[in-house]
């Protein structure tokens, strides 16, 4: 049975970035079948009436009145650590949160069930904010993949590997083979896939980076890692070699089309040119980077060079929120300031990065990132009845500068409604929160928090 959402401004994000001011979109199963103006709707409905009837409803199609809202493609969060919800708000405003605080706590308190429950909660938070695809990288990723699948989000589960002992594996090569079995398990799955994701340029040996690259390459999966982000990382390269992180990755043969480098704040012109030459992509996390006072990545130059750049939230312990509305606003503000140019990065370009830009960075642009016939039906209806959404002269501007997660009315992933009237369609945030809080109270995590406070 087809579903048709009517009476919406369709922000298609197609090649010409067409906006259909008074339009509709239709889909059947998980695939978009028609997009057009409201005056084309009659003909479509007549066609649909001849179609097979649904046994239960006696209808051959379902109509949803979009009530003048904005229909946009589902947003793509290119970099997240969904298992880290329990750490949100901890260690904020302290100097070295990662090494002094997070890594030791992760070691002692993180386990498979906590990752599972945290990932479910994070998926709920993202879906409610219109994020329909997420690249996750954390530990116990079989649990994360299971959680994402149950929540109905589209996701890539990146099993993090690093040289030192992690909370799930002592030996990184065990983590590598765990990742491989995950990749095999989800091959051919409609929404979920997997990869191995090295932690960073200095937390993995050259051999480990190469082994991860080889595995991801064999599966056509993204090879994603933190790059040119941390001061200790840059110091390490300055002190031990003549290379930059980007140059180092290239010298190992692990910088290529499937590389998705997170952050890339401290990049030289030569690094940027190398990224462009190798067609590597960047997950830009403006909220996390600026909160941690790490600087602003040179995104205007990246775009000039044709590097694919999308937006990421980073983990909830880094940027605190998992929605891309926040990232879009921060992105516009910081980059306009950085370039001292009010007209830099117009709203359309910012929406691009949150949708089709993210899809391109993942090489998934044939499937997602725009509202076009033949693509998967990952759609977000943003309502325009709330106080903050009036008046609207330009839907792009409304999405970037006015809208927030509370304006997300409906969300569809692979054609299935996962958010309805601003609430999860099949799950309850209260229940998910209760389960996660219950687990947090029972684990070593609670003791760690009490101890550290």
What's the closest the beta carbon of residue 450 comes to Zn ion, in angstroms?
26
The least distance separating Zn ion from the CB of residue 115, rounded to whole angstroms, comes to: 15
Instruction: Kindly list the residues in this chain that would bind Zn ion in the complex (CB under 5 A).
Output: 314
DSSP 3-state assignment of 96?
Answer: coil
Q: Which residue is nearest to Zn ion (CB)?
A: 314
Whether the Cβ atoms of residue 275 and residue 255 lie closer than 8 Å to each other: yes
Distance of closest approach, residue 198 Cβ to Zn ion, in angstroms: 12
Nearest to 125 by CA among 443, 440, 423, 453: 423
Query: Can you tell me whether residue 149 is helix, strand or coil?
Result: helix
Q: Residue 280 or residue 413: which is nearer to Zn ion going by CB?
A: 280
Distance CA 379, CA 24 (A): 12
CA distance 285 to 310: 9
| Phi, psi of 268, rounded to the nearest 5 degrees | -85, 170
Any bridge partners for residue 310, and if so which? 283
How many whole angstroms separate alpha carbon 368 and alpha carbon 12? 11
Name the one residue in this structure whose structure tokens are 């998705």.
Answer: 260
Give the residue with the Cβ less far from Zn ion, 197 or 419. 197
Q: Tell me how crowded residue 43 is: count the other CB atoms within 10 A of its CB.
A: 11
Question: Where are any strands of DSSP class E within 313-450?
Answer: 379-382, 408-413, 416-420, 423-424
245, 207 in Cβ contact below 8 A? no
Residue 315 C-beta: closest distance to Zn ion, Å: 6
Residues 160 and 225 sit within 8 Å (Cβ to Cβ) = no
Q: Which is nearer to Zn ion, 203 or 244 (CB)?
A: 203
Axis crossing angle, helix 429-442 with helix 444-452, rounded to the nearest 10: 80
Reported as type and span, the H/E element at residue 37 is: strand 31-37
């Amino acid at each position: 049975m087809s579903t048709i959402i009517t009476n919406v401004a369709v922000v298609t994000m197609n090649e010409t970035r067409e906006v259909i001011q008074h339009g509709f979109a239709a889909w059947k199963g998980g695939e978009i079948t028609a997009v057009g103006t409201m005056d084309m709707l009659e003909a479509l409905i007549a066609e649909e009436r001849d179609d097979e009837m649904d046994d239960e409803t006696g209808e051959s199609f379902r109509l949803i009145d979009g009530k003048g809202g904005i229909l946009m493609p589902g947003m793509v969060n290119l970099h997240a650590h969904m298992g880290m919800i329990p750490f949100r708000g901890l260690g904020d405003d302290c100097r070295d949160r990662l090494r002094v605080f997070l890594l030791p706590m992760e070691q002692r308190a993180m386990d498979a069930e906590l990752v599972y429950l945290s990932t479910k909660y994070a998926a709920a938070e993202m879906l409610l904010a219109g994020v329909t695809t997420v690249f996750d990288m954390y530990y116990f990723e079989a649990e994360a993949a299971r959680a994402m699948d149950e929540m109905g989000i589209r996701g890539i589960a990146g099993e993090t590997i690093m040289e030192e002992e992690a909370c799930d594996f002592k030996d990184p090569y065990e983590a590598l083979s765990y990742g491989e079995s995950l990749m095999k398990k989800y091959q051919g799955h409609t929404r979920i896939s997997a990869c191995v994701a090295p932690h960073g340029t200095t937390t993995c040996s050259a051999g480990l980076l190469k082994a991860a690259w080889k595995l991801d390459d064999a599966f056509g999966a993204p090879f994603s890692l933190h790059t040119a982000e941390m001061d200790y990382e840059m110091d390490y390269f300055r002190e031990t070699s003549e290379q930059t992180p980007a140059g180092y990755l290239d010298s190992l043969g692990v910088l290529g089309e499937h590389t998705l480098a997170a952050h890339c704040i401290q990049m030289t012109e030569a690094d940027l040119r190398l990224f462009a030459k190798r067609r590597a992509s960047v997950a830009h996390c403006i909220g996390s980077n600026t909160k941690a006072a790490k600087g602003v990545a040179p995104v205007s130059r990246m775009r000039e060079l044709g590097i694919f750049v999308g937006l990421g939230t980073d983990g909830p312990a880094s940027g605190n929120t998992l929605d891309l509305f926040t990232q879009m606003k921060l992105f516009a503000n910081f980059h306009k300031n950085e370039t001292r140019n009010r007209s830099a990065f117009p709203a359309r370009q910012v929406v691009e990065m949150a949708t089709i830009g993210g899809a391109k960075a993942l090489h998934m642009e044939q499937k997602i990132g725009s509202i076009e016939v033949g693509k998967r039906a990952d759609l977000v209806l943003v309502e325009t009845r709330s106080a903050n959404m009036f008046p609207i002269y330009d839907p792009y501007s409304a999405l970037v500068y006015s809208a927030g997660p509370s304006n997300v009315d409906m969300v569809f992933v692979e054609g299935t409604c996962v958010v309805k009237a601003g609430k999860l369609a099949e799950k309850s945030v209260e229940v998910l929160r209760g389960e996660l809080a219950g687990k947090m109270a029972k684990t070593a995590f609670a003791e760690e928090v009490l101890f550290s406070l």
